[in-house]
């Protein structure tokens, strides 16, 4: 036979070489064409998907903005955004510095409320507990160093102070007129971020929920009526404000209260009336230290100030009897007129017991040693 064709479409020439017919090349062309088409379709699909996702994201953002802008209290007293914007100027972020001196570490701790002229800020005791130093960030991103004026361990309150001008104290309201169903806003700023992330809206469930607290230093149990709301508890708003629809302060948040009540379905707030009373007691202690002794002090933090508990002296007036007796900044008062001193409230009580002018012994801790100072005190008028 002169030539033959095999079933696999090969043909052999006279030189003995094997040739493949043209059909194989057509398969290659088809494969290339299909591959290109697949890539084109995939590219088009990707573009369409990206466009859809982007469009959906923008749409959701637009919807969220419209929803935020449309939230208005049902009693017609105001737009929640307007209320929050007004209140936000009185809310601060509190950052505490912990750790060793050579390895300090900043922790976003909680929120605080500017409640009094002169840079006084109300927050929770646990927010500043264990801090080596404290920083406060305002709504306009300005940061200030803060000092602790005093704390109330029983009710988890603390008053701190910054040296700043043009601060806007929050407008005080009242919890007296609250009733079940009253609309409220919880506003905090624990990380100095956009306030819309830390605004929560809800209603009042109860205004007479009892809370049993224990003083960490004495172990004494106390009862306090607090506000219960539908707002879910959150550590990020600890130290933040509970406001009514007028933007007035009616309560202060504390995650410690929620831990005490053991619930995750509602949150609890100290009433503004109680908060003001406890803050006033803290400030009165500071006031006596200034007016009677001529010093500016805060409570020592045992974890950072050589493990000593007492009243840490920040400033001493050079015209005061205390300065004349040798009291200096960084001294820690551990005993005054025979009474042990752990907190500013202890100093407050000790000073109030001095009715007439007398010289009292003040025991201090300085540079690793204890020493006694004899300070002339004019006494407190009864």
Domain extent listing, the chain: 81-162, 182-280, 285-378
Record the tokens describing residue 354, joined without a space: 């001095």
Q: Closest Cα partner for 91 from 101, 83, 100?
A: 83
List residues bridging with 204 in a β-sheet: 229
Name the 3-class secondary structure at 175: coil
Name the 3-class secondary structure at 270: strand
Name the 3-class secondary structure at 71: coil
- Residue 302 is predicted with a pLDDT of 65
Tell me the CA end-to-end span of the chain in Å, nearest whole number: 138
C-alpha 251/C-alpha 188 separation (Å) is 12
Record the tokens describing residue 20, joined without a space: 């493949």
- Residue 272 is predicted with a pLDDT of 94
Inter-residue contact 208 to 225 (CB < 8 Å):
yes
C-alpha 239/C-alpha 256 separation (Å) is 10
Record the tokens describing residue 325, joined without a space: 């007796």
Q: Do domains 81-162 and 285-378 have the same CATH topology?
A: no
C-alpha 28/C-alpha 288 separation (Å) is 96
Show the DSSP H helices in the chain as ranges.
Answer: 23-70, 80-88, 125-128, 255-261, 272-288, 321-325, 344-352
Give 7-21 as a DSSP string: TTSEEE-TTS-EEE-
pLDDT digit string (tens) for the chain, length 382 residues? 444 344 444 444 444 444 444 444 555 566 666 667 666 655 555 544 444 334 333 333 332 333 333 345 555 555 778 888 889 899 999 988 877 666 767 776 789 999 999 999 999 988 888 888 899 999 888 999 999 888 887 788 999 999 998 899 999 999 988 899 999 998 887 665 544 447 888 999 988 766 766 655 545 556 677 898 998 766 556 888 999 999 999 999 876 665 555 555 668 888 999 899 889 888 887 777 888 888 888 888 665 556 788 998 988 988 889 999 999 999 999 999 999 998 888 888 898 888 778 899 999 999 999 999 999 987 665 5
Name the 3-class secondary structure at 178: coil
The dotted CATH code for 182-280 is 2.40.10.10
- Residue 231 is predicted with a pLDDT of 86
- Residue 173 is predicted with a pLDDT of 95
C-alpha 237/C-alpha 27 separation (Å) is 68
C-alpha 122/C-alpha 159 separation (Å) is 5
- Residue 249 is predicted with a pLDDT of 96
Q: Closest Cα partner for 267 from 246, 252, 277?
A: 252
- Residue 67 is predicted with a pLDDT of 30
Which residues are CB-neighbours of 132 under 8 A, at least 6 positions away?
Answer: 96, 97, 98, 99, 101, 104, 301, 303, 304
State which fold the 285-378 domain adopts.
Pdz3 Domain (2.30.42)
Torsion, Cα of 172, 178, 182, 183 (10° steps): 10
pTM of whole model > 0.85? no
The distance between the two most distant Cα atoms of the chain, rounded to a whole number of Å, is 141
State which fold the 81-162 domain adopts.
Thrombin, subunit H (2.40.10)
Cα–Cα–Cα angle for 245, 249, 250, nearest 5°? Answer: 85
DSSP 141: S
List residues bridging with 144 in a β-sheet: 136
**Could you count the other beta carbons within 10 Å of the beta carbon of residue 10?**
11
């Amino acid at each position: 036979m002169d030539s033959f064709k095999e079933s696999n479409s090969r043909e052999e020439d006279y030189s003995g070489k094997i040739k493949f017919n043209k059909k194989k090349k057509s398969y290659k062309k088809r494969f290339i064409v299909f591959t290109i088409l697949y890539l084109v379709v995939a590219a088009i699909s990707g573009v369409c998907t990206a466009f859809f996702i982007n469009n959906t994201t923008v749409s959701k953002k637009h919807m969220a903005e419209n929803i935020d802008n449309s939230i208005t209290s049902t009693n017609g007293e105001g737009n929640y955004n307007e209320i929050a914007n007004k209140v936000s100027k009185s809310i601060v972020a509190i950052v505490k510095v912990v750790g060793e001196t050579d390895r300090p570490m900043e922790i976003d701790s909680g929120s605080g409320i500017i409640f009094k002229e002169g840079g006084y800020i109300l927050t929770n005791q646990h927010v500043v507990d264990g801090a080596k130093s404290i920083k406060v960030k305002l709504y306009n991103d300005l940061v200030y160093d803060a000092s602790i004026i005093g704390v109330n361990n029983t009710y988890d309150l603390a008053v701190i102070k910054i040296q700043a001008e043009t601060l806007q104290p929050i407008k005080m309201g009242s919890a007296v007129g609250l009733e079940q169903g009253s609309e409220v806003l919880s506003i905090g700023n624990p990380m100095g971020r956009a306030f819309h992330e830390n605004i929560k809206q809800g209603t009042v469930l109860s205004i007479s929920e009892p809370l049993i607290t224990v003083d960490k230093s004495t172990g004494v149990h106390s009862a306090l009526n607090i506000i219960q709301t539908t707002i879910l508890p959150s550590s990020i708003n600890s130290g933040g404000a509970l406001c009514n629809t007028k933007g007035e302060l009616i309560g202060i948040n504390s995650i410690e209260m929620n831990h005490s009540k053991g619930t995750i379905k509602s949150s609890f707030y100290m009433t503004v009336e109680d908060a003001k009373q406890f803050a006033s007691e803290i400030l009165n202690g500071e006031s006596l230290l200034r007016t009677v002794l001529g010093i500016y002090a805060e409570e020592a933090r045992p974890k950072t100030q050589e493990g000593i508990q007492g009243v840490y002296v920040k400033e001493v007036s050079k015209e005061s009897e205390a300065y004349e007796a040798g009291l200096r900044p960084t001294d820690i008062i551990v005993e005054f007129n025979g009474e042990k001193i752990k907190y500013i409230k202890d100093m407050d009580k000790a000073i109030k017991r001095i009715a007439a002018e007398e010289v009292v012994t003040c025991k201090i801790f300085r540079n690793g040693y204890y020493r006694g100072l004899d300070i002339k005190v004019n006494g407190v008028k009864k």
